[in-house]
Structure 1
Amino acid sequence: MQERIDETEVTAKVRSAGLRPTRQRVALAGLLFAKGDRHLAAEELHEEALAAGFPVSLATVYNTLHQFTEAGMLRIVAVEGAKTYFDTNTSDHHHFYIESDNTLLDIAGGPVTVTNLPEPPEGMEIANIDIVVRLRHKRG
C-alpha cells in the first residue's frame, strides 16, 4: 500500500497554494508529499497513482504537476532534453544526477558559487541558477 498524508492536510496545502482542491489534485498531492522531499518524473507519479487504486490519465498527472509548479508547490528540474523531474523541495538547491540510474539527489551543504555570469538582457534579471552535476560510476 502506498504511503499517504492526511487528506485534510493535503487539502489545506492545495488550497493554501491558491488551487481548488479537486479530488485529483488532492489524491496526487497526497502521493507526492507523503514521502518527504523527493524527485519524481510524471510517469513515476502516474504509476504510483495507479498502484494506489487511483485511475488517472498521464495527461492529467502532467497537467496537475505543472499546476502545482506554477503555484509554487513543486520545482522543475530539467536533466536532459526530454527528462524532467518534479522536486517537492522548492528551496534553492542543486542536484547530483546519477546517469546509470536516472536518479536525482540533492546536493547537501552550502551554496555552490558560479562566477562570470553574463549580464542579462535589458529589463531582465537572473531569477535562479540550477546546477545539475552528472555522475557516473568510475571505470576500471
Structure 2
Amino acid sequence: MAAHADHTTSDTHLRQERAQSWLRGANLRPTRQRVALASLLVGDGQDRHVTAESLFEAAKDDGDPVSLATVYNTLKAFCDAGLIQEVTVDGSKSYFDTNTHDHPHFFWEDEGRLTDAPADQLEISRLPTAPDGAEIASVDVVIRLRKTR
C-alpha cells in the first residue's frame, strides 16, 4: 500500500514538473490554477483535445477546485502564449489541442469528440487567392465523421 502511495506521489510530482516546465517555456507565471490545469493537459506527456467543460470536470475530479470562468481564462492565456490551439467546430463548440503543429482533425459527430487525423494522408493542392489587403493566416481542416450503421 505504501509503495502505491509513493508511486502516486511521484507520478503527481512528475506531472506538476512537466506542467511547470511547459508554462515556463512560454513565460507564463505558474499560478496554482495554471499548474493544476497544465498538469491535466500535458502532465503525462501525451497530446489531447479538451473542451473547457471537460477540463473543468477533470480538475474537479482531480480535487483541484477551479471555476469554469478560470478554466476559460486559463485556456485563453495558453492559446495566446502558443501552448495550445483552439479548434472551433460548428462555429460555437471549441476544442483545445495541445498539439500546436498544423494537422487535420476528425470530428466524431455521434460522440462530440475531436481526434487527430493523419496529416500525411491529406493533400491540399491549391488554395484560393486571398482578397486584396489580406493574407491566409492558416487553414483548418476538420473532417466530420458519422458511424456507419
Given residue 33 of structure 1, which amino acid in structure 2 is its aligned partner?
V
CA distance in 1, matches of 2:48, 2:131: 34
For residue 122 of structure 1, the aligned residue among 119, 132, 138 is: 132
Structure 2 unaligned residues grouped into runs of 5+? 1-7
Q: CA deviation at 1:82?
A: 1.8
CA contact (8 A) 2:49 2:98 kept: yes
Q: CA deviation at 1:49?
A: 0.5
For residue 40 of structure 2, the aligned residue among 6, 31, 48 is: 31
- The match for 2:20 is 11
Residues 56-75 of structure 1: pairs in structure 2 closer than 5 A: 56-75=66-85
For residue 22 of structure 1, the aligned residue among 31, 34, 54 is: 31
Residues 57-136 of structure 1: pairs in structure 2 closer than 5 A: 57-110=67-120, 112-136=122-146
CA distance in 2, matches of 1:32, 1:9: 10
Structure 1 stretches of at least 4 aligned residues deviating more than 4 Å after TM superposition: none
* TM-score, with structure 2 as normaliser: 0.84
Between 58-67 and 78-87, report the one with greater CA deviation: 78-87
More helix by share: 2
Give the share of equivalent positions with the same residue, in percent.
49
